[in-house]
Chains A and B, each alone.
Chain A
Amino acid sequence: MNKRRENPTNPDFEELVQRHYRGLYQFAFSLTRKEAEARDLTQQTFYVWATKGHQLRDASKVKTWLFSTLHHEFLKSKRRQTRFPHVDLARAGDDMPTVSSTIANQLDGSTVLQALARVEEIYQAPLALFYLEDYSYKEIAEILEVPIGTVQSRIARGRAELRKVLNDFGSDGQFQSRRGSGG
């Protein structure tokens, strides 16, 4: 029998949205760098919660469950995009920032996001959670469904790559051509 509406440990849907949409959207945006996709991912995450959230037995895991679901949905959408490539013509050639500062403190959020986009893909989600949320490494491991040692090593390497990318941010406000682990 369905227990979704009878389970007192499950928070009210609206309350859940109000509590978590910001963090989920920011995580989604850090992965996609596109508002429309971040919106879709956030909304999809709550859709999945509405249809499957009742299967979660531990109410203390709701937030972790939501972030894990969003990441799962992101990976699924990427797989789908690989099968059905989508070219956003309006943004073609628009992935280079044009700010002039090279100091981390003076970079704007979009430049940091551009830098994050330039580190190896496997490091991006761990890094986003590392910076955005107050999750322990154990919780990040649960969200990404990888061992905690893997999470820590990805974050360590990802940080090193991110620093390289930010250091490469030239005085002309352009990233150098080096990508990924180059260095």
Chain B
Amino acid sequence: MDSQQAKRVLWLYRPGVDDADPQFAEALAQVEHDPDLQRWLDEHCAEYTALRAKLKDIRVPADLPDQILGERPVDAPIPWWRSRLALGTAAAVVVVLLLHSVLFHHGQRGHVPNPRATFAAFRDDMVYYADAGYKLDIKSFSLDELRQVFASNGWPSDYTVPPGLTELAVRGGCLTKWNEHKVSMLCLTAANDHKVWLFVVARSALSDAPAQSTPKIATQDIFCTASWSESNKTYLLVAEGDEPFVRSLL
């Protein structure tokens, strides 16, 4: 290895970080016998160290940890409510958490509602919503109770739940809006720990709502979706999993 080759290798070398990385060993050994290369490396390391220090100096807001901890999403799945004891009594427990403020905040979490009323935009936004994290407005493990809360708040509630979903553990739900249209969101977990969400919106909210009652399957990032329309409602099922898994839920 000559001096130029060593420089090309050491261009990526970071003092104190890459010392044990074998890809730099030969070039570093070369430095010991080459004073010019040594000077070049010293300059290289000084520049790296200076720029690193500048970037490490980025001021971090002191209140950031409190903000993160204060706005931690509420986890619906808490082990105790899966216990046999709780199953007998907790079925009636429905907690609506700061409904108005949560609804207000849904639109502020970096998520800009899509002004296009197409089904593709709806699907994009709902997948993003499920993926990006949310606070459950309703904590319940009962589909019936979810429906009651949706109904009492004027959200879509006369929906039909696919048979496969009735076998899953219910975590709760959200009352959200898309382009000012109310969307009921049911959050469930399958036995394989995969999350599943069912979104229900008025068919009229979409300019090109799925015409078929037969679900149409599609994949999006790590998610698989199924969509269909029935009577005056459009359904979007989003799941962490593949097509066979989604089909097993319908």
Q: Identify 12 new A-B residue pairs, CB closer than 8 A, beyond the known A13-B69, A159-B11.
A: A1-B82, A1-B191, A1-B193, A26-B58, A30-B55, A35-B61, A43-B67, A44-B110, A47-B73, A50-B75, A54-B193, A80-B112
Question: How many Å lie between the Cα of A77 and that of B100 in the bound state?
Answer: 26
Cβ–Cβ contact A18 & B54, under 8 A = no
B51 at interface, CB cutoff 8 A: yes
Name the A residues within 8 Å of B18 (CB-CB): 136
Name the A residues within 8 Å of B17 (CB-CB): 134-136
The one of B16, B21, B48, B60 in contact with A137, judged by C-beta atoms closer than 8 angstroms, is B21
In chain B, positions 100-146 with a C-beta closer than 8 Å to chain A are 109-112, 114, 128, 131-134
Question: How many Å lie between the Cα of A39 and that of B58 in the bound state?
Answer: 13
Task: Tell me what chain A mostly uses at the interface: helix, strand, loop, or mixed.
Answer: helix
Name the A residues within 8 Å of B193 (CB-CB): 1-3, 54-55
Min distance, Cβ A151 to any Cβ of chain B, angstroms: 10
In chain A, positions 53-81 with a C-beta closer than 8 Å to chain B are 54-55, 73, 76-77, 80
Q: Mark B43-77, 1 if CB is under 8 A from A, else 0.
A: 00011101110111110110011011101110101
Min distance, Cβ B107 to any Cβ of chain A, angstroms: 13
B38 at interface, CB cutoff 8 A: no
Q: Mark B75-113, 1 if CB is under 8 A from A, else 0.
A: 101110010000000000000000000000000011110
Cβ–Cβ contact B12 & A131, under 8 A = no
B189 at interface, CB cutoff 8 A: yes
Question: How many Å lie between the Cα of A29 and that of B64 in the bound state?
Answer: 13
Q: Mark A2-29, 1 if CB is under 8 A from B, else 0.
A: 1111100000011001100110011001
Contacts A/B (CB < 8 Å), 20 sampled:
A2-B79, A17-B69, A21-B64, A21-B68, A22-B60, A25-B60, A25-B64, A26-B60, A42-B68, A43-B68, A43-B71, A44-B109, A48-B133, A50-B73, A76-B132, A80-B110, A105-B50, A111-B54, A130-B14, A152-B12
Interface on B for A, CB 8 Å cutoff?
Answer: 11-12, 14, 16-18, 21, 46-48, 50-52, 54-58, 60-61, 64-65, 67-69, 71-73, 75, 77-79, 82, 109-112, 114, 128, 131-134, 169, 189, 191, 193, 195
A155 at interface, CB cutoff 8 A: yes
Name the A residues within 8 Å of B109 (CB-CB): 44
Q: How large is the interface on A (under 10, 10 to 19, 20 to 34, 35 or more residues)?
A: 35 or more
A46 at interface, CB cutoff 8 A: yes
Name the A residues within 8 Å of B52 (CB-CB): 131-132
Min distance, Cβ A150 to any Cβ of chain B, angstroms: 13
Cβ–Cβ contact A47 & B56, under 8 A = no
Name the A residues within 8 Å of B46 (CB-CB): 105
Name the A residues within 8 Å of B11 (CB-CB): 156, 159
A141 at interface, CB cutoff 8 A: no
Name the B residues within 8 Å of A14 (CB-CB): 69
